[in-house]
Amino acid sequence: MKPFDYPMGATPLDPDELDGLKLKHITTRSELDRWEQQNIQDAIAWLKRKRSPDFLSEEFICELHEKMFGKVWKWAGQFRKTNKNIGVEWTLVSVELRLLLDDVRFWIENNTYEPDEIASRFHHRLVWVHLFPNGNGRHSRMMTDCILIGLLNSQPFSWGSGNLVEAGEIRKKYITALKLADTHDYSLLNDFVRS
């Protein structure tokens, strides 16, 4: 299979990961996006039926990714096994995830930050660790909304009120906000997520 065109900030797949495409008739990025979006809609329905999930567990995080992308990709729900243009070394993914989950538990239990700040920091770190070969942005946004609703009793983020999958001005603002958060300045990200 030939590589897809990727929007700014997207993670290219290596040939082995591309071979994990279950739907061999897909040949364009727009076809892939449509199939993935349908799979994500199925995951949202699954999430609404799920009773008392442990949002801050590795098991739930992987299961959600599998539900979001498992009809399209064989490796859905499995941590990446290669280095990418973003993220920690692949061998550190599970360690960094454990540190993040411990931090979030501490922030919540000790009211370290306001709920939006906790969610924004969680989202940034989950994207920064970059757990999976692909789908990390969409997965981390859904995970963040799960934490907002299920653990922080808050409304989900509006995420710039636009399409973050396609290249465009909204995606550019989102990527810029994430890059600034890499320097521990969350101001743009905190504004963006509620815009």
Give this prediction's pTM: 0.92
Residue ranges of the domains in the chain? Answer: 15-193
Is 80 exceeded by the pLDDT of residue 4? no
pLDDT tens profile 75-128: 999 999 999 989 999 999 999 999 999 999 999 999 999 999 999 999 999 999
Lowest-pLDDT choice from 142-151, 157-166, 171-180: 157-166
Is 50 exceeded by the pLDDT of residue 1? no
Q: What is the 3-state secondary structure (H, E, C) of the chain?
A: CCCCCCCCCCCCCCHHHHCCECCCCCCCHHHHHHHHHHHHHHHHHHHHHCCCCCCCCHHHHHHHHHHHHCCCECCCCCCCCCCCCCCCCHHHHHHHHHHHHHHHHHHHHCCCCCHHHHHHHHHHHHHHHCCCCCCHHHHHHHHHHHHHHHCCCCCCCCHHHCCCCCCCHHHHHHHHHHHHHCCCCCHHHHHHHCC
pLDDT tens profile 37-52: 999 999 999 999 999 9
- What's the rounded mean pLDDT across residues 25-37? 90
Q: Which CATH class is domain 15-193?
A: mainly alpha
